[in-house]
C-alpha cells in the first residue's frame, strides 16, 4: 500500500516536471528571438511590408509553421535557413514569446 502511494506520488511529480519542460519558456524565447528581430521587429511587429508580424500569433500555429520551415515542408528561401538550427525546445520557446506579445 505504501509502495503504491509512493508510485502515485512519483508519477505526479514526473508529470509536473514534464509539463514544465513541454511548455515554452517566454524568457528563453525572447533571448533566442534576438536573431529574428531584424526582420520581425523586437516587439514582433515588422517594419517591412513583406515580413509578417508575429506578435500575438497563436502559439500552436507558430510551433507548426516553424517546424515546417525547419523540416522543409514549408518552403521559403529566407525562413528555411533561419529555422534550420532551431531545436524543438527553441521553437516552443519562440512560439511562447511571440504569442505572449500584444
Ligand atoms: C531576413 C529576414 C528574416 C529573419 C532574420 C527571420 N525571418 Fe521569419 N520570416 C521572414 C519572411 C520574409 C517571412 C515570410 C515567409 C513566407 O512568405 O513564407 C517570414 C515568416 C516567418 C513566420 C511565419 C509567419 C506566418 O504568419 O506564417 C514565422 C513564424 C517566422 N518567420 C519566425 C521567425 C523566427 C522565429 C526567426 C528567428 C529565428 C525569424 N523568423 C527570422 C523573414 C525573416
Q: Which atom of ligand 1 is nearest to the CA of 50?
A: 12
Position 97 scores a pLDDT of: 98
Instruction: Give 1-15 pLDDT, tens digit per residue.
Output: 566 655 554 554 444
In order of their start, the domains of the chain are 25-100 (1.10.760.10)
Q: How far is the CA of 50 from the centre of ligand 1 (A)?
A: 10
Query: How buried is 81 (Cβ within 10 angstroms: 0-12 exposed, 13-18 middle, 19+ buried)?
Result: exposed
Q: How far is the CA of 65 from the centre of ligand 1 (A)?
A: 10
* E strand residue ranges, the chain: none
3-state secondary structure of 77: coil
Asked if 102 contacts 88 with a C-beta cutoff of 8 angstroms, the reply is no
- Tell me which residue of 99, 82, 87 sits closest to 36, measured CA to CA: 82
Average pLDDT over residues 45-54: 97
Q: How far is the CA of 89 from the centre of ligand 1 (A)?
A: 18
Closest residue to atom 14 of ligand 1, CA basis: 51
Binned at pLDDT 50, 70 and 90, residue 20 comes out as: very low
Amino acid at each position: 500500500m505504501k509502495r503504491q502511494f509512493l508510485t502515485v506520488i512519483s508519477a505526479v511529480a514526473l508529470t509536473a516536471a514534464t509539463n514544465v519542460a513541454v511548455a515554452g519558456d517566454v524568457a528563453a524565447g525572447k533571448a533566442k528571438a534576438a536573431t529574428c528581430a531584424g526582420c520581425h521587429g523586437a516587439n514582433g511587429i515588422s517594419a517591412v511590408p513583406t515580413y509578417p508580424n508575429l506578435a500575438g500569433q497563436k502559439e500552436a500555429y507558430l510551433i507548426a509553421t516553424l517546424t515546417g520551415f525547419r523540416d522543409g515542408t514549408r518552403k521559403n528561401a529566407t525562413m528555411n535557413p533561419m529555422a534550420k538550427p532551431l531545436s524543438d525546445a527553441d521553437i516552443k520557446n519562440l512560439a511562447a514569446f511571440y504569442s505572449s506579445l500584444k
